Structure 1
Amino acid sequence: MQHGPVGLRLIRGRDARTLQRELLSNRSWLRPWEATIPGGVASFDMRVSIRRLLQQHRDGAGYPFVMEYDGEIAGQLNIWGVARGSLGSATIGYWVSERFAGRGITPTAVAMATDAAFDQFGLHRMEICIRPENRASLRVVEKLGFRYEGLRRRYIHIDGDWRDHHAFALVTEDVPEGVLTRWVQGRVPPGLGVAPSEI
């Protein structure tokens, strides 16, 4: 998938070295938003991580991508927790290197991934859960018009503790023209991706 300089492709085993280098060189930038394991130690063995992600992909439980900018790896985007059948739902998670921030990579990649989930992967609903403190990610869902659906208390273990997350979602009926097209053409209804300030 490609839109301008932003590309989204399935992760490959040979991406391990580049992704590991980006993760390690972006520790202070990424740590506040990274999932952790209660009582566990974070692992940075990308080869093992990629093998697990590709196995989930083969099992139909996820779609692991790398985000690229002008052909250079800029981060990762994963569609995970795929539920088939009557739910037809999944969740998107992502990270981008600090040196690529502010170039529109993440909203473009999220839009392309959501369109693919709806049009190619047969899903009906896509969710993104974001910490209230993560202003950059909150701007992504606001730009793309993901609908605010509520606060999930102590939802995911992030940076060493259980953290609250705002939940946002889209269903296929929300975007008949596609997420990317709606955003690029400036037709995202205002206020959809905004969490209530009183929470």
Structure 2
Amino acid sequence: MEPIELSHGVELRVLARQDAEFLATTYTKNRAHLAPWDAERHEDFFTTAWHEGETAQQLAAYASGAAVPLVLATPTAIVGRVTLSGITRGAFESASLGYWVDEEFSGHGLISAAVGHVVGIARDSVGLHRLQAGTLLHNHASQRVLQKAGFESFGMAPRYLRIAGEWQDHRLFQKILHD
């Protein structure tokens, strides 16, 4: 996949091995910003070594067709991620969508633009029929991102994921890519 220029000097591109150090730096910088929306993280998570291993796993999943790991990158930093994971083929042709953006870049429309592009990639390049995403019930900003991209809410999952140390309810969204 060729990089896609977004705005503010940011491009959307496939994760690369050399991104591990940038990811560790950005996650450390955004630790407090992401904590309310993310799983609890062990100290190792904030190291380059941990991200080297995770990047290798993500790239193996990409090579096998199980995931599409993307980053929002500037020439000197990673400022967000958008990932299609759990790609399921056959009768389902579906994947889960996850994303986050650096606090400094939040509110500039970058993640909305990236998600819009990823919807097209999922449909046209990956050949999926459906995408699913979940948000905490009170994460209205993330819900707006999904709604802008044409996702529809289809239910609520009680105690769906362990976020910020607690099993929390999530609003579920989906987008049908082929009618």
TM-score bracket relative to the smaller structure: 0.7 to 0.9
Q: Which of 40-49 and 110-119 deviates more?
A: 40-49
Letter matched to residue 29 of structure 1 = H
Q: 1:71 to 1:147 in 2, by over 3 A?
A: farther
How many residue pairs match? The answer is 172
Which secondary structure state, in structure 1, belongs to the residue aligned with residue 160 of structure 2? strand
Which secondary structure state, in structure 1, belongs to the residue aligned with residue 25 of structure 2? helix
Contact 1:69–1:105, Cα closer than 8 Å, also in 2: no
Matched, 1:99 2:104: yes
Letter matched to residue 43 of structure 1 = F
Distance 2:6 2:131 in 1: 24
Query: What corresponds to 2:153 in structure 1?
Result: 148
Deviation digits for residues 21-58 of structure 1 (CA, Å, limit 9, x no counterpart) = 01001111001111348xx7772321111111111112
Letter matched to residue 39 of structure 2 = A
Unaligned stretches of 5+ residues in structure 1: 175-199
Matching residue within 75, 84, 91 for 2:80:
75
Matching residue within 14, 17, 21 for 1:17:
21
Query: What corresponds to 1:115 in structure 2?
Result: 120
Matching residue within 163, 173, 176 for 1:158:
163
Aligned counterparts, 1:53-92, within 5 A: 53-68=58-73, 72-92=77-97
Q: Which of 1-10 and 56-65 deviates more?
A: 1-10
Unaligned stretches of 5+ residues in structure 2: none
Distance 1:87 1:28 in 2: 36
Query: What corresponds to 2:45 in structure 1?
Result: 43
Distance 1:152 1:58 in 2: 31
Give identity over the alignment, percent.
34
Letter matched to residue 152 of structure 1 = A
Report the CA distance between 1:70 and its aligned residue: 7.8
